[in-house]
Amino acid sequence: MPPRTSPTYRQARLGAELRKMRLHAGMTAEFAAGLIGIDRGKIPNIESGVRTLSPERLRTLAANYGYGDEAYVSALLAMAQPRTRGWWDEYRGKVSAGMLDIAELEWHATRLHTVQTVHIPGLLQTEEYARAIFGAVLPELSRLEIELRVTLRQERRRVLDRPHPLPYTGYVHEAALRMHFGGRQTARAQLEFLSERSTAENVTIRVLPVSQGIFPGAGHALLYAEGVVPQLDTAQLDSAHGPEFMHAEGQLSKYRSHLRWMEANALDAPASRDFIHRACKEL
């Protein structure tokens, strides 16, 4: 198959895992190419996600790299299967590739965690609240761009409502509950919706009060997506230039520590729901 011009994050991640395996085994790209009968120059393209690799060839590489973790290899084999069209592909060419990568990441995760300090979690934002946020973007977005982003954000909620809903835990700082994005009426409706959704069996919302003081990762929002195996977890941070995806073991260890801190220090789910009710009444 011809090379891709712009691989998705999921495709690039598969390539990155193959490169990690090869380097861990101490093998050259030339040796790897010989194992599966291709030109040496194609290995860098495979390891960057630009070229596909059949599941059969992937298994050959994994076996020769000495990887005996069958769960990990099976997860990689699933990623190497011919890509099927996801619901998010309807937006390709209409919104940024990074936004689509987030939707795809969430869809293939086994569990999601988010930490939000300023906004309500994206998966649980109402249309009017999301519209207010995208309406404040600079440079200004066109009305069409705003509506496309709002609709995409609403559709991402499918992971919580599908037949086998994804377990989700959202840590929300009190500051996010106090923000009047879109005005008091919109903010009140948003808190009511957040409280309602927090009663779902697969959804846990936990509030971090301002009285807690300083906390790790205070300067950014975090999405942590658990993979089929821990090696395939992903941490995603927002930036002014778009989403940043991280999967190096040191990075994952850091953000796992952040989540453990949140779990130990945030209000429990019932107390958080009461907190949200009080914040709503004060609007």
For residue range 134-159, list pLDDT tens digits in order. Answer: 999 999 999 999 999 999 999 999 99
Answer whether CATH 3.40.50.2000 is correct for domain 9-80.
Answer: no
Q: Which amino acid would we find at residue 109? A: A
pLDDT tens digit sequence for 16-38: 999 999 999 999 999 999 999 99
Per DSSP, the three-state class of 166 is coil
Closest listed residue to residue 73, CA positions, set 97, 98, 56: 56
pLDDT tens digit sequence for 65-105: 998 899 999 999 999 998 889 999 999 999 999 999 999 99
Task: Domain ranges for the chain, please list them.
Answer: 9-80, 87-281
Task: Give the strands of the sheet with 234-237, arranged side by side.
Answer: 203-208, 168-173, 111-116, 222-226, 234-237, 244-246
pLDDT tens digit sequence for 201-257: 999 999 999 999 999 888 789 999 999 999 999 999 988 788 999 999 999 999 999
Torsion (CA) 155, 95, 228, 196 in degrees, nearest 10: -30
Say if CB 89 and CB 100 are below 8 A apart: yes
Instruction: Tell me the C-alpha distance between 210 and 235, whole Å.
Output: 25
Per DSSP, the three-state class of 177 is helix
Overall pTM surpassing 0.85 (yes/no) = yes
pLDDT at 1 over 70: no
State the fold for domain 87-281.
Endonuclease; Chain A (3.30.870)
Instruction: Tell me the C-alpha distance between 36 and 62, whole Å.
Output: 11
Instruction: Tell me the C-alpha distance between 224 and 210, whole Å.
Output: 23
Q: Which amino acid would we find at residue 186? A: T
Per DSSP, the three-state class of 261 is helix
